[in-house]
């Protein structure tokens, strides 16, 4: 009896024998072309740029998996990719068999030669079959392209560390501290220099906006008399608030004699999609930045020795597919 995971079953694609994935991809593209939809004319026209493994852990629901799969598809429209999606099945009971699906799509650019295609291979497997997984994944990937590994919804850092092949071969390992285990950022990964947090990547527009505003003041004006740095957040963004506080601390530490206290707060009266950054000083200096991420509005207020400044600004987080790109390549 077939026993594939609910995640595997929820994802789109055409089921194929595990031993005939390449043939399944060819048949899929043939059927796509026969229906008049965009399809690559040859392997060369796919112009695949990236190998990408998306690993769904046991904390991933079927609905969440479909959402993250959509993010990977959107990413692949900009960066044509060969994506292998790992869908482990819980428990050791049932059919000791691996199942596979294939999915692909092409996006037409302004010219015929600008066709961009992505290919997905979904694999459903029991944990006991993990020893065979490395070979199956390597067969699905392009050997001459860089590999990126996105682990989503995993329940244990130690459990994920069992996938040594992916952790050591991948150029970047992507996690999201908003959903990852608490020790994910401090766990001794085989290549810690390659670990990237999607929460940090999402904050790129916020970091740029704050950096542009604060760069108009000398570091001496920002740091002299600084007593506290506080990030307050609503219920929707604790991970982003923690990352933002760490980013600000890293920059303030460059002042040298930094004695400020860095505080993270979640006051219950804040709207869910709120971030506030406040500098507390001795004397009359002030700085605050208040952002409503739902409405896309922020407000800077500062008095740092050169007159009071009030500046409204736009604010946003990167969309998920752009955060993937930021975390992978920068």
pLDDT in tens, 123-164: 999 988 887 898 899 999 988 899 999 999 999 999 898 899
* Rounded Cα–Cα distance for residues 187 and 222 (Å): 34
Whole-number pLDDT of residue 258: 79
- Indicate whether 136 belongs to any domain: yes
* Rounded Cα–Cα distance for residues 161 and 91 (Å): 19
Q: How many domains does the chain have?
A: 2
* Rounded Cα–Cα distance for residues 71 and 51 (Å): 15
- Indicate whether 144 belongs to any domain: yes
> The whole model's pTM is what?
0.93
Report the number of secondary-structure helices (H) and strands (E) in the chain.
Answer: 12, 14
Q: Judge if 220 and 93 occupy the same domain.
A: no
Q: Judge if 121 and 252 occupy the same domain.
A: no
Containing structural domain, residue 182: 6-198
Within a 13 Å sphere around the CA of 324, how many CA atoms are in the beta-carbon half?
24
The last residue of a domain, from among 148, 165, 198: 198
β-pairing verdict for 99-107 and 116-126: antiparallel
Q: Judge if 175 and 228 occupy the same domain.
A: no
Q: Judge if 122 and 174 occupy the same domain.
A: yes
* Rounded Cα–Cα distance for residues 42 and 47 (Å): 10
Q: Judge if 258 and 151 occupy the same domain.
A: no
Q: Judge if 121 and 239 occupy the same domain.
A: no
Q: Judge if 278 and 251 occupy the same domain.
A: yes
Whole-number pLDDT of residue 45: 52
* Rounded Cα–Cα distance for residues 206 and 203 (Å): 5
Residue 246 sits in a domain whose CATH number is 3.30.360
Residues in the chain with pLDDT values less than 50: 1-3
Whole-number pLDDT of residue 24: 94
Whole-number pLDDT of residue 46: 59
Q: With 0-12 CB in 10 A as exposed, 13-18 as middle and 19+ as buried, what is 313?
A: middle
């Amino acid at each position: 009896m077939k026993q594939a995971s609910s995640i595997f079953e929820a994802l789109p694609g055409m089921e194929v024998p595990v031993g005939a994935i390449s043939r399944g991809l060819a048949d899929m593209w043939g059927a796509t072309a026969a229906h008049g939809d965009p399809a690559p004319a040859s392997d060369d026209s796919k112009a695949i740029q990236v190998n990408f493994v998306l690993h769904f852990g046991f904390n991933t629901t079927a609905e969440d998996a479909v959402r993250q799969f959509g993010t990977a598809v959107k990413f692949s429209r900009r960066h044509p990719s060969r994506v292998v999606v790992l869908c482990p099945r819980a428990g050791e009971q049932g059919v000791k068999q691996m199942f596979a699906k294939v999915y692909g799509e092409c996006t037409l650019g302004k010219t015929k030669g600008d066709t961009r295609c992505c290919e997905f291979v979904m694999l459903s497997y029991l944990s006991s079959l993990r020893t065979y997984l490395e070979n199956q994944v390597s067969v699905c990937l392009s050997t001459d392209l860089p590999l990126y590994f996105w682990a989503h919804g995993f329940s244990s850092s130690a459990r994920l560390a069992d996938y040594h092949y992916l952790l050591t071969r991948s150029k970047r390992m992507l996690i999201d501290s908003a959903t990852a285990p608490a020790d994910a950022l401090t766990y001794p990964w085989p290549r810690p220099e390659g670990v990237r947090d999607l929460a940090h990547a999402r904050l790129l527009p916020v970091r740029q906006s704050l950096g542009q505003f604060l760069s108009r003041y000398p570091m001496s004006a920002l740091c002299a008399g600084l007593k506290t740095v506080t990030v307050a957040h609503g219920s929707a963004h604790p991970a982003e608030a923690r990352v933002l506080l760490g980013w600000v601390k890293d920059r303030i530490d460059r002042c040298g004699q930094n004695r400020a206290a860095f505080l993270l707060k979640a006051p219950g009266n804040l709207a869910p999609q709120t971030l506030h950054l406040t500098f507390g000083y001795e004397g009359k200096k002030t700085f605050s930045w208040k952002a409503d991420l739902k409405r896309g509005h922020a407000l800077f207020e500062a008095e740092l020795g050169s007159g009071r400044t009030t500046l409204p600004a736009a604010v946003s987080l990167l969309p998920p597919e752009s955060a993937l790109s930021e975390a992978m390549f920068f």
